[in-house]
Amino acid sequence: MIKRVPVTALEVGMYITDLNNDWIPHNTRNRRGFLRNETTIAKIRQMGVDFVYIDTNKGKDTQDSEPAREVDARNAALLDDVGALKPLPKRVRPLADEMVIAQQIHGEAQNLVGNVLRDVKLGHAINITPFNELATELQESVFRNHNALSCLGRIRDKDNYLMEHSVNLSVLMSLFGKAMGCSADVQHQTIIGALLHDIGKILTPEEILHKPGRLSAAEFEEMKAHARHSRDILLATEGIGELTILTAAQHHEKMDGTGYPEGLRGDEISVYGRMVAISDVYDAITADRVYHKGMTPTQGLKKLLEWSGPHLDSALVQQFIRCIGLYPVGSLVLLESGRLGVVVESNDDDQRLPVVRVMYHTKFRMPITVETLDLASPGCQDRIVRAVDPEDYQINLKKFLAL
């Protein structure tokens, strides 16, 4: 049986199945195996995690353990509670109309991030003007219909992670800032901070940044230095806003002080730092990377709830879920009819009733005619049973997100 156990109760002879630290970027540490000595246990306790998962069929158990299914059920109940809250963002333009503009903005953003990475690597200063212009375009698109850019954020290439992650993070921060009632200027600065938050990775040695195997302790420390590098590069950039620097500098800080680069605790982290930390973790754990299979959006939201408190601001996690929806755009859901549909648009009034694009029937185990359903429409009686993993049905969601 898979169980969750506090790191304080780990013993030699247990079998680890998950270190429960997917939020750590470039984490290539072995995630499973027997605990054979106290040295390994000490290293796990130093990682900043509170709980790990063990397999009691393969190794020792402890009275302090809890079945993983009970943890998941508790997180699911918490998610349902947040899902009952009214959504915050409102759309003012149809998805199809905004998608055309969003595709242009998304492409422009990726090119801009890619260009600035090359420029900084060559020793050139960052020209902040195009980032100001892009942030304005992005804000306006999110205001009109945030679902368009959210759809594009789920159409990803794992080999292009760095640029796509920066762009997706800026979309999430724009949506989050809007939902939190942040002023236009605050949103503007934090969007730019999200776009440039990983600029410091340009100073990380290539052999570490793209290492396919496990990072040594020294290499991991070098990798973590990118947050400080990002801050220093932005501090030297003319015309940069204070909140932009703060957003980039604090995106890996954690509430219990186990984050980096400064190890800030609680209120020592700005509200924008706490917001970007949540957004960064969510986007990172739901993305496919060379060394990491992404979770589904719903699994990602459950993990945010599980990591709330020690690592992430609990109240802000609930607000984040409230603004991206119980079933975020890009989620594959099973309907009561047996059909599968990908969520393409949230519901302004009830986040439990999004717009879905159906394409497969589980009862007949076959593709069906693609159809877009508004679950909130008066004539629609179908409802969501649960979110599912596309891999279970071999469905490529990219084909259905940007029709």
pLDDT tens figures, 141-170? 999 999 999 998 888 776 678 889 999 999
What is the pLDDT at residue 186? 96
pLDDT at 54 over 70: yes
Confidence of residue 288 (pLDDT cuts 50, 70, 90): confident
pLDDT at 25 over 60: no
pLDDT in tens, 209-238: 877 667 778 888 898 899 999 999 999 999
What is the pLDDT at residue 291? 66
Q: Does residue 86 or residue 275 have the better pLDDT?
A: 275
What is the pLDDT at residue 92? 81
pTM of the model: 0.90
What is the pLDDT at residue 88? 65
Tokens 């801050």 sit on residue: 231
What is the pLDDT at residue 403? 66
CA distances from 107 to 16, 83, 115, 141, 152 (A): 41, 32, 12, 14, 10
pLDDT at 93 over 80: yes
Work out the average pLDDT over 372-378.
94
pLDDT at 28 over 70: no
Q: Report the range of poorest mean pLDDT among 77-86, 130-139, 194-203, 372-381.
A: 77-86
Question: What Rg do the C-alpha atoms of the chain give, in angstroms?
Answer: 21
What is the pLDDT at residue 226? 93
Q: Report the range of poorest mean pLDDT among 17-21, 96-100, 357-361.
A: 17-21
Work out the average pLDDT over 380-391.
93
What is the pLDDT at residue 87? 72
What is the pLDDT at residue 89? 65
pLDDT at 110 over 70: yes
Percentage of the chain lying above the pLDDT 70 cut? 95
pLDDT at 242 over 60: yes
